[in-house]
Structure 1
């Protein structure tokens, strides 16, 4: 049976009148009558008894009216729920990002999203970019904020969308008593003889690439992706490191010297999602708030104003 005809039938039964039902539906009376005739043909039974005083359901019509009312109720509930999703009264956003971005950008984003749209269910799990990409691809994460260096490739198949939002400058971090801490102009090659503290796999690769371009291989003594630990090691004179602005902001330390060095590429922070995800109201709203918060840090890249591109 055509569910549309059942909804029309439900309206007629509740109004006890084809004319009244037609007015409620915004249809003509002949159009409603045609659908009722088609429904009776579908069921093979007389469903309504017509008289000058209106219509009365037959036994079969009474039984069918029960089911029609249930369908009408379900359709109304479905319509209301869809309207609530569009109006951001309901929805879900499963988010992930890497530790330093979580410390700097996540708290204000969650607070603003919750204040604006308390009915949206938010969840967060901290992940490094490769795990975040896998979560997006597996549909266990809706939106991820990741970082990438110029040569980073995280999704060779181009299955996901990438929207850059922030240039995160990478700086050289030294102990205050380093001989070159106050030198006016620095290049990475000045530190070829120093011992280094490396970060995560992608950050370590960036260090190696930059050092190679500067003509040396860094002597990596320690490896940790904890921004606080890196700076504590530096203050105790155990090495030097490259750290991004967001990483430095996530763990402020006034006992180190932060310098800009030629030849060190910045990294880009951006949003990754499945194609079409930004058409989902809750996800789009969350991403917009995240971009707005990111604009207060580093060099914003016209936050979320341009179209997303395939992640390659």
Structure 2
């Protein structure tokens, strides 16, 4: 029987832990699977045993085994957990997460690095939602968002030129550093970190068409006391890496630009002096966010938390 002080329903999280402990035959294994510490799992099992009023697990030198009561309760718990998952699925359907479509705007650098990880996770969680991605330049992305072509979009800015628009809500996704690219045979190729002052005599490979990374380079060079010499205008970062790899110059790029790194290029940190780029999610302020948009944002921010160190 339940203790008189615990006549209410069991804690669903403890029941889920019990199922995993029984199935894994080990508190440690269950803790790893459920992302708890073993001591936390042991504590929750003791509390569940107190609620039940009898032992649920036999502790052994190597693992645990359920008592008769533990086996019985685990069987009921499996049914309860299955019903809870079914209930969540039904609620998601009502909320629109089991159908519909979503269009997301992004810029090329992110589309070739971080975003595919997010898309993979989102499609796995919400396979019935039709997801489209539109990659474009900054101004086009903002126009598409304002016109409703996209439900949300990913943008970027730097501290000296923060994006500001009262009609658009901004949520930071992550900060990424700026790095230096040199050829493997370059005099600095064995270094993990370099100062801008050491690069004053270099020829620089930059993006063409007044790309914003040119301003990042100029600001960093001016702070270091020199005017950068531009040796090559590249149409994209892959072309920039190719030119760096054959010794045509060095380059300054955001770290996501080298997610696919050229084998003959070395990536070197600028340390604390590295300009930081903010990547953020933009949404219109004047609309009610669709369930699919909320779900995508949640997935996006979760993945960003897991991977933020990759871009520092």
State the TM bucket, normalised to the shorter chain: 0.5 to 0.7
Deviates more, 1:187-196 or 1:107-116: 107-116
Quote the offset at 1:300 in angstroms.
8.5
Worse-matched range after superposition: 216-225 or 138-147: 216-225
The 8 Å contact of residues 192 and 268 in structure 2, kept in 1 or not, is answered as no
Q: Separation in 1 of the partners of 2:296 and 2:214?
A: 31
Shift of 1:180: 2.7
SS at match of 1:178: coil
8 Å Cα contact 2:152-2:282 kept in structure 1: yes
SS in 2 for 1:197: strand
Match of 1:117 in 2: 126
- Counterpart mapping for 1:1-312 below 5 A: 84=93, 86-155=95-164, 157-183=165-191, 186-199=194-207, 201-224=211-234, 226-249=236-259, 251-262=260-271, 263-275=273-285, 279-299=289-309
Report which of the two structures shows the higher radius of gyration computed on alpha carbons.
1
Preserved contact between residue 94 and residue 142 of structure 1 (Cα < 8 Å): yes
Name the structure 2 match of 1:78.
none
Q: CA deviation at 1:171?
A: 0.8
In structure 2, do the counterparts of structure 1 residues 270 and 225 end up closer, same or farther at CA, with 3 Å as the change threshold? farther
Once the two structures are TM-superposed, the CA of residue 184 in structure 1 deviates from its matched residue by 6.8
How big is each residue's C-alpha offset from its partner over 1:67-100, in whole Å with a ceiling of 9 and x where there is no partner? xxxxxxxxxxxxxxx9846141223211111112
| Structure 2 unaligned spans of 5+ | 1-90
Tell me the SS of whatever aligns to 1:253.
Answer: coil
Asked if the contact 1:149–1:266 (Cα under 8 Å) also holds between the matched residues in 2, the reply is yes
Report the Cα offset of residue 162 of structure 1: 1.0
2:145–2:152 contact (8 Å) kept in structure 1: yes
Cα shift at 1:238: 0.4
1:230-251 CA-to-partner distances (Å, cap 9, x unmatched) read 11110100010112221111x2
TM-score if structure 1 supplies the norm length?
Answer: 0.63
CA contact (8 A) 2:96 2:292 kept: no
Count of residues paired in the alignment: 218
Higher relative contact order (CA 8 A, sep 6+): 1
For residue 40 of structure 1, what is the aligned residue in structure 2? Answer: none
The answer to whether the 8 Å contact 2:167/2:286 transfers is: no
Closer, same or farther in 2 for the Cα pair 1:85/1:196, shift >3 Å?
farther
8 Å Cα contact 1:130-1:154 kept in structure 2: no
Measured after TM superposition, the shift of residue 194 of structure 1 is 0.8
Matched residues in 1 for 2:142 and 2:94: separation? 26
Change (3 A) 1:163 1:87: same
**Alignment CA distance shift 1:284-1:276 (3 Å):** farther
- Give how far 1:297 is off: 3.0
Q: Is the 8 A contact 2:114 2:256 kept in 1?
A: no
2:275 partner SS:
coil
SS at structure 2 position matched to 1:104: coil
Bigger mean CA deviation after superposition, 100-109 or 230-239: 100-109
Shift of 1:277: 5.2
